[in-house]
Chain A
Amino acid sequence: GAVVSQHPSWVICKSGTSVKIECRSLDFQATTMFWYRQFPKQSLMLMATSNEGSKATYEQGVEKDKFLINHASLTLSTLTVTSAHPEDSSFYICSASGDRYNEQFFGPGTRLTVL
């Protein structure tokens, strides 16, 4: 399958600061990227869907002003958690797909801890 990377793999930040997480598709052009959040021992919850060059579509209940998503190229999408708070601590996972949204390739995840 295709390879998707995330950077950083883990990050610790202070409450009130912003954190940027990168998601890259390394060997294919991803027209669509997805961002998920996973709390300990829970399932993956879709936060937003982003298409290259257009605004992201956020799921109900996800604050778009808090979780800024940019999909500037076919290989890179970024998620910025603004004014992070301890309740934002979670495992953030991105996935990338081509034309077939059902065939998503997942990144290794980023562990965010907000102190």
Chain B
Amino acid sequence: QQQVKQSPQSLIVQKGGISIINCAYENTAFDYFPWYQQFPGKGPALLIAIRPDVSEKKEGRFTISFNKSAKQFSLHIMDSQPGDSATYFCAVFGGGGNKLTFGTGTQLKVEL
């Protein structure tokens, strides 16, 4: 059973545009929703994370939007840059298990 569904699988955005990646989950007991950025051949790095008591969190060009009733959360990358080209993973934590469960990943390419 897939605990978190991520879309799209790949995304091409023009430089300066907005990149949007979505995740949906089933277990309402999850209480921590992070996004990770991974470059080829590297480990993932935490970008931004949110807890279910807020609907939005912004850090620089990165924003998480959280919809508790719909059990969805999304990552918005404003003013996308070629250096943002990477694979992005959402994850969920909690629900009785002390572990992160990752989405399937989105390969983002930002073109000039």
Contact = CB atoms under 8 A, between A and B. Distances in A.
Interface string A53-80: 0000000000000000000000000000
B103 A49 contact: no
Given A1-B46, A108-B42, A44 B89 contact: yes
Nearest to A34: B99
Interface string B46-84: 100100000000000000000000000000000000000
A101 B98 contact: yes
Nearest to B43: A106
Interface in B33-52: 34, 36, 41-46, 49
Interface string A1-26: 10010100000000000000000000
A85 interface: no
Given A102-B32, A102-B93, A93 B44 contact: yes
B100 interface: yes
Contact of B43 (A41, A46, A102, A108): A108
A109 B41 contact: yes
A50 interface: no
Nearest to B107: A41
Contacts of A46: 99-101
B37 to A, nearest CB: 11
Contact of B100 (A6, A102, A107, A109): A102
A55 B57 CA distance: 38
Contacts of B41: 91, 109, 111
Contacts of B85: none
Contact of B102 (A4, A43, A108): A43
Interface of A: 1, 4, 6, 34, 41-46, 49, 91, 93, 95, 101-102, 104-109, 111
Interface of B: 32, 34, 36, 41-46, 49, 89, 93-94, 98-105, 107
User: What 4 A-B pairs have minimum CB-CB distances, sorted nearest first?
Assistant: A106-B43, A102-B93, A101-B98, A102-B32
